Amino acid sequence: MIARLKAVVRTLLVMSLAGTLGIAAAAAAGEQERVVASSPVSPDHISEGLKRPELQIPAVPVQEPTFRSGVTEKLETPLDVIRRELREEAHLHAWQGGRYTQGIDVLPALMSLVTRVKTIRREHAEAEARQMVQEELAAFCAEHDCSQAADLPLPEGVIAPR
């Protein structure tokens, strides 16, 4: 297929040269050899060019970076910033009302208080849900016979009332 493509290209080049240089008129007059020989690009030169190997582009060599960067210091989190600012504020007002103030970090105590409140709310919501299920179950058993269901083992994944 490459040979055929080269032949087509060769033919096209010769035809374009013929149109450009007036070889068609010279060929009709029988002077083709003289015109081709006097043209600036000969068919032999074109054939030699087509026989040369294709241009090979070398791969780009992998180069190591000439610089490196990195973080060597610990970055401050927002909580660290708040604690630092509270400490600085406490040192500015060390003497108030005839007594020295102590630098106490109350954020851990405050965070544990918030966590405890969330835990109490969750436990309260679970207790309300259990109570609602017990009331619904009692209402259902009041209308239907549930004596046999009490003897059945609970299926896996079902939460039993306490």
DSSP 32-72: HHHHHHHSSS-HHHHHHHHHSPPP-PPPPPP---S------
Question: By the 8 A CB rule, do 107 and 84 touch?
Answer: no
Closest CA to 161 of 137, 142, 125: 137
Domain of residue 16, residue span: 2-51
The answer to whether residue 35 sits within a structural domain is yes
Instruction: Give 104's strand partners.
Output: none
The answer to whether residue 130 sits within a structural domain is yes
Q: How far is residue 12's CA from residue 46's CA, in Å, rounded to a whole number?
A: 11
The answer to whether residue 95 sits within a structural domain is no
Does 36 score more than 60 pLDDT? no
- pLDDT tens column, 20-34: 555 545 555 555 455
The answer to whether residue 92 sits within a structural domain is no
- The count of domains in the chain is 2
Question: By the 8 A CB rule, do 50 and 9 touch?
Answer: yes
The answer to whether residue 153 sits within a structural domain is no
Closest CA to 6 of 56, 55, 47, 54: 47
The answer to whether residue 140 sits within a structural domain is yes
Bigger pLDDT: 8 or 32?
A: 8
Rounded alpha-carbon distances, angstroms, from residue 89 to 46, 98, 101, 109, 111: 87, 18, 11, 19, 20
- pLDDT tens column, 102-150: 656 677 888 889 999 999 999 999 999 999 988 998 898 888 887 777 6
The answer to whether residue 116 sits within a structural domain is yes
> Residue length, the chain?
162
pLDDT score for 119: 95
The answer to whether residue 152 sits within a structural domain is no
3-state secondary structure of 121: helix
pLDDT score for 30: 54
Does 2 score more than 60 pLDDT? yes
Which of 28, 51, 74 finishes a domain? Answer: 51
